[in-house]
Amino acid sequence: MAALEVRGLRKQFGGVVALNGIDLDIDTDRVVGIVGPNGSGKTTLFNVVTGVHPATGGTVSWQGQDITNIGAHRIARKRLVRTFQQAMSFPGLTVDENVRIAWEQGRRGGSRWASPGMILDFVGLAPLGKAIAGSLPFGSLRRLGLAVALGVSPELLLLDEPGAGLNDSEAQAFAAVIAQLPPQGIGVCLIDHDMDMMSELCDRLIVLDFGTKIAEGPPAEVLADPKVREVYLGPDKKAALS
């Protein structure tokens, strides 16, 4: 049994069907990638799984417990934690305070970090501890988003395009940090558009299109799948690629 089991998950916004019956099994010992064109429902999947939006149908279970629609803060307390596509922080507070807030929440039942400072060291933000989060350059803000999520002591971390808006070297450094997580017992489920990075980081790729899972498997296999190539390149270009 996988740690996170999603069954028949549906989400409708008015007439828009953002998720149309998604089944997923995600474990906490590896990096799983989720890809798909813009608007295919990747962010909505995270939002529904973590209780930001209520599900229209289907179930989410985590470590054997049904967590469908139990509320975002309860899900976070069960150590299923996510970051946001728009880099988020507590902008008026210091970097130290940002991380301490998350760390204090994650301390219930024991934290994997002895202190918030360890998290800052881990993501490389230690020198900026006294800076106000709202004044950070974008790259540091992304790292702060990761630090805050890690502060909750997650067992599975859902990362929504953590590399978006970063330059190549920043994105590479970020990927290196992400690769360190599963060996420490933090599973990662990662949304990103950079296929090279995804192939390198992920043990498994899941492809969404129009709220449906159209492919799943090892990156090389999935990227060679004609259905996936069609989604990314359009039916007319299929011939040119092969």
Ligand X SMILES: Nc1ncnc2c1ncn2[C@@H]1O[C@H](COP(=O)(O)OP(=O)(O)O)[C@@H](O)[C@H]1O
* Single residue of 4, 26, 31, 41 touching ligand X by CB under 6 A: 41
Out of ligand X, other proteins, Mg ion, none, what residue 38 binds, judged by CB under 5 to 8 A for its kind, is ligand X
Out of Mg ion, other proteins, ligand X, none, what residue 41 binds, judged by CB under 5 to 8 A for its kind, is ligand X
* Single residue of 43, 68, 83, 98 touching Mg ion by CB under 5 A: 43
Report if residue 176 touches ligand X, rule: CB under 6 A: no
Out of other proteins, Mg ion, ligand X, none, what residue 171 binds, judged by CB under 5 to 8 A for its kind, is none
**Within positions 68 to 87, which residues make up the interface with Mg ion, using CB under 5 A?**
85
Q: Residue 180 CB, nearest distance to ligand X (Å)? A: 25
d(CA 149, CA 152): 6
# binding residues, ligand X (CB under 6 A) = 11
Site residues, Mg ion (CB under 5 A): 43, 85
Residues that bind ligand X (CB under 6 A): 13, 16, 18, 36, 38-44
